[in-house]
Structure 1
Amino acid sequence: MKKVKVLILTVVFLLTMALQAMAQSNSPVYKGSFQDASFYGSEGTVDTSVYLSTNFEGKDSYILYYQTYDYEKDENYYGSAVVPASQVVFDINKGTVKVNTTVEVYDFTCDEEGNCTGDETIPAGTKSINLTWVFSPKSYSTSKYSDKNVQIDFDQYIKLSKGTFKNYNNVSVSGTINGKSTDSFEYSGTNVSTGSSFTIIK
């Protein structure tokens, strides 16, 4: 369970931010598509995750999330960076995703429920991310979701949300995370997915 804690926190945070962005938009109807690629690695007591996703708040850009968690020392470092689409390769037809950027990280403390606090005014350094994902564009599994009446703000709710996802199979990743090769982790996992969604906010 500890090995997936970092990735779960990252995905939950991403979805929360996306829904808040939709709630603050002028239109009650949101239609969109997304692309994302992730890597998770474990070495000793430290878990590391990198998550690249479509930026829901800005056009022609992605957001890269980085997090490390040492569950023995209870140390949690988290950061994100907006990466222009011109600096990212996300080619579904060729089955290739590439990103090469740096992320400024901060020291956070999280409780068992995933509530995190930290000082975002004092950086704890920068991390370099240089990753390439490779997969077969013709090999994927499809899933759908539907949700209703989900509270996303004090007085705002999702009336209806539907989406379709493609999770690509046999994804491999190569490159480095802050100089550490992806194949040097004791345990690792990776994923690439795309999707489209339709949301009505009331």
Structure 2
Amino acid sequence: MKKVKILILTVVFLLTMALPAMAQSNSPVNKGSFQGASFNGSDGTVDTSVDLFTNFEDKDSYILYYQTYNYEKDEYYYGSAVVPATNAIFDVNKGIAKVNTTVEIYKVGYTCDEEGNCTGDETPAGTKSINLAWTFNPKSYSTSKYSDKNVQIDFDQYIKLSKGTFKNYNNVSVSGALDGKSTDSFENSGANVSTGSSFAIIK
């Protein structure tokens, strides 16, 4: 359930960030739909997650996020990539989602001065190949909703009201590999798939 909540909050954040571009039309009401699939796995002190979302600014592509964190070494790596629809499939009617792409990875570090002011820096750390397939029952899901008011999205632009409805599919399974590491080889793992729609009134 925690991963589902994180997935929902991430989608809400991404949709909110995309609203300034969507608001270029003359209509104050903006509608959007999204699809999302995620995988998370852990091995010892290392957590890994992959999230695939609708690209709100280009409906012919998706955005993939890859993250790993080593608690023992305090090392964090991340990467993101725009995935064209030719390398990603999301078919709710058939209950499948797939992605096959390569992501550039960066190691994130922080440098702090004597006063405690910290700055982040990113170091290229190669690439990761992502080849995952999610399967789920499109008729088995739970529904959740969110709403928000008076959210600033630009210098002089606000969301007067934002509402959305999510379908969180049950019994999601995932197969494939992350840079050659099979999803079955993780000590613990989980997967989620969500779809939904939303609208926002811009003022």
TM-score (norm 1): 0.85
Which consecutive residues of structure 2, in runs of 5 or more, have no partner in the other structure?
111-117
Q: Partners of 1:123 and 1:137 in 2: how far apart?
A: 39
Q: More strand per residue: 1 or 2?
A: 2
1:37 corresponds in structure 2 to 37
Q: Please, which of 19, 22, 27 is the counterpart of residue 19 of structure 2?
A: 22
1:132 corresponds in structure 2 to 133
Is the CA contact (8 Å cut-off) linking 1:106 and 1:118 kept in structure 2? no
* 2:202 maps to 1:201: yes
Q: Partners of 2:119 and 2:11 in 1: how far apart?
A: 14
Change (3 A) 1:132 1:45: same
- RMSD, aligned α-carbons: 2.4
After TM superposition, which residue ranges in structure 1, 4 or more long, deviate above 6 angstroms? none
Q: Deviations over 1:66-121 (max 9, x none)?
A: 000111211111111111112212111111111111000111247xxxx99333xx
Shift, 1:173, TM fit: 0.3
Shift, 1:11, TM fit: 6.8
Is the CA contact (8 Å cut-off) linking 1:108 and 1:116 kept in structure 2? no
Is the CA contact (8 Å cut-off) linking 1:146 and 1:160 kept in structure 2? yes
TM-score (norm 2): 0.85
2:193 corresponds in structure 1 to 192
Identity %: 72
Q: Partners of 2:13 and 2:86 in 1: how far apart?
A: 26
Which has the higher Rg, Structure 1 or Structure 2? 2
1:95 corresponds in structure 2 to 95
The number of aligned residues is 191
Which consecutive residues of structure 1, in runs of 5 or more, have no partner in the other structure?
none
